Structure 1
Amino acid sequence: MNFFESQLFKDVQTQHIFDDCKTFADATARTSWQSACKHYEQVAPLNQAQLKEFVNAHFITTPLLRMQSEPDIASVKHYINSLWHGLRRAPDKPKADSLLALKHSYIVPGGRFQEIYYWDSYFTALGLMDANKPEIVEDMLQNFIDLINDYGCIPNGNRSYYLSRSQPPILALMVE
């Protein structure tokens, strides 16, 4: 069974348990999504309040990433450079969620987007090179090569629900 085709996933999305439909798609199961779905099949249907309680008991959601920049920013470049640390992610450990674990560090866009995005990464790489951070760009390139080796393509982002789509091919531009 695919989590995104489960009755639990459909009910959470159609009952609007969260303000943002990406929240539940990115949630981490406390044990496994399979066991949560199986348990849900035994207790469903639930009203909205009960469903929210069920989801909170079986899943962990990630709050939006809120960035703090340095208070006295002298220039746009200085402001951008002050944000890199908060947007950088260490290599992932596989969890019971939709994230495709990456073996090297990477930069996320922030806010509700807490995974690497293929197209965005090209522009991120330009900024990182300007900030003299080529090691992060190299890590991101290695992640994309790993995704090709593991899945046969570079998905839109490193989430399992992006495996069926990609973005314009910019890997060669990033290598350059």
Structure 2
Amino acid sequence: VNFGSIGAVIGHEMTHGFDDEGRLYDAEGKLNDWWTPADTAEFTKRADQYGEQFAKFTSGLPEGMHIRPQLTMGENIADLGGLTIAYEAWQMWQTKNSYTPQPPMLEEYGSGGSQSEGDRRFFAGWAQIWQSKYRPSELINALTTDRHSPGFARATIPVQNLGAWYAAYGVKPGEGLFLDAAERVVIW
């Protein structure tokens, strides 16, 4: 759970150095677009594809409202990067420590002792940090001005881009949170 929560937050902050704004600063912290044109083009292509996932997201949003990826892109990229970094760290830690997840205390986590069990706990940690409730007027204000996507979007969209999430929960084509492999984005 800690890898999926605080680990992902730490990874999120690290990723800001390579998001749509952070990438414009060099190793000295000076404003300097140091990427090659090819790297910039590939990054932009992937970021735009990821942004489309947020633009199309409507679950829980007021009718006619959408997430504005041009406003939230840096945070969205940092969420995906942070989650990816944390998951890779979780995998490395398990290997190094010969870790086998113990049976869960709560029935909804599933049966214990499997790789999927540990991964479900990881992703549960991710989801827990984005628990939120909005007043309708505050949600409209956030969608208009906040550089962060709503918590419920942050909890679901990044995980849809990680294959491990599908394996952990057995998500199949046709289910609500399924995203075809060709549509999944890897930025980092």
The TM tier, using the shorter chain, reads under 0.3
- Determine which structure has the larger strand proportion and give its number: 1
Which structure has the larger Rg? Answer: 1
TM-score of the two chains, using structure 1 as the length reference? 0.25
Structure in which a larger fraction of residues adopt helix: 2
Greater RCO (Cα-Cα under 8 Å, separation 6 or more): 2
Q: TM-score, normalising length from structure 2? A: 0.23
